[in-house]
Structure 1
Amino acid sequence: MKNTRIYHNPRCSKSRGTLELLQENSIQPEVILYLDNPPDADELRSLLSMLDMPPRALLRTGESEYAELGLADPGKSDDEIVEAMAAHPRLIERPIFVHNGRAVIGRPPENVLRIL
């Protein structure tokens, strides 16, 4: 796994803006199209550790899968949430930028500058 990477959705304006900002700062990250190549549960746990956030904070609550899987239920465990994101990558907040063992969500895109 490359040291500098972005979990990217090219259809998302924030994701595109984040990638453009990185390139403007001479950063050429490995681009992971996470909807096509979703991270598995172990990779998600690693990302969450680098992000220093609980799994629920990485969930996109507006996606249909969120309601369909009952993820608003506070009784859902962290493992259940991670497994749901691994199985349904649309649930993963985007973009996630990883650099030198640290990670940040590019919302707003300028967030990525904090870890360069």
Structure 2
Amino acid sequence: MSDVVIYHNPACGTSRDTLALLRAKGVEPTVVEYLKAGWTKAQLEDLLARMDASAHDILRVRGANADALGLSDPAASDAALIAAMILEPALVNRPIVVTPKGAALCRPAELVLGLI
């Protein structure tokens, strides 16, 4: 098993570009298609802690119904966002990459280079 994990959406160009960059650098990551696998509360909390981020930092607004659910409101709590992300995995922006050096939302894709 690889020590690099990419939470990937194959329909996303940035996610595909990030995966391609990893592979071009000789890294074959564990690929988690999070739209199929879903999220757990513990998993999201762990990722946020590794990223030193809040749930707002990984919330996908464009192309998702975050606005309609009131999640893009700065007053929305991390707990509310995480609960929504568990129910609707597409609310998590992508790709998120985890390596021994850390974790990051790799938008743009080149941000992954700082993790390998």
- Conserved? CA contact 2:6–2:31, under 8 Å: yes
In 2, Cα distance between the equivalents of 1:35 and 1:87?
Answer: 11
Change (3 A) 1:64 1:7: closer
Q: How many residues align?
A: 116
The residue type paired with residue 115 of structure 1 is L
Question: How far off is 1:100 after superposition?
Answer: 1.2
Q: Structure 2: 5+ residue runs without aligned partners?
A: none
Q: 1:109 corresponds to which residue?
A: 109
SS of the counterpart of 2:36? coil
Q: Structure 1: 5+ residue runs without aligned partners?
A: none
Deviations 1:32-71 (A, max 9, x none): 0000001211100100111111111110112342123111
SS of the counterpart of 1:32? strand
Question: How far off is 1:91 after superposition?
Answer: 0.7
- TM-score, normalised to structure 2, is 0.92
Q: 2:12 corresponds to which residue?
A: 12
Q: 1:68 corresponds to which residue?
A: 68
Change (3 A) 1:23 1:2: closer
- TM-score, normalised to structure 1, is 0.92
The residue type paired with residue 27 of structure 1 is V
**Percent sequence identity over aligned pairs:** 38
Moved >6 Å (runs of 4+): none
Q: 2:23 corresponds to which residue?
A: 23
Root mean square deviation of aligned Cα = 1.6
In 1, Cα distance between the equivalents of 2:94 and 2:69?
Answer: 20
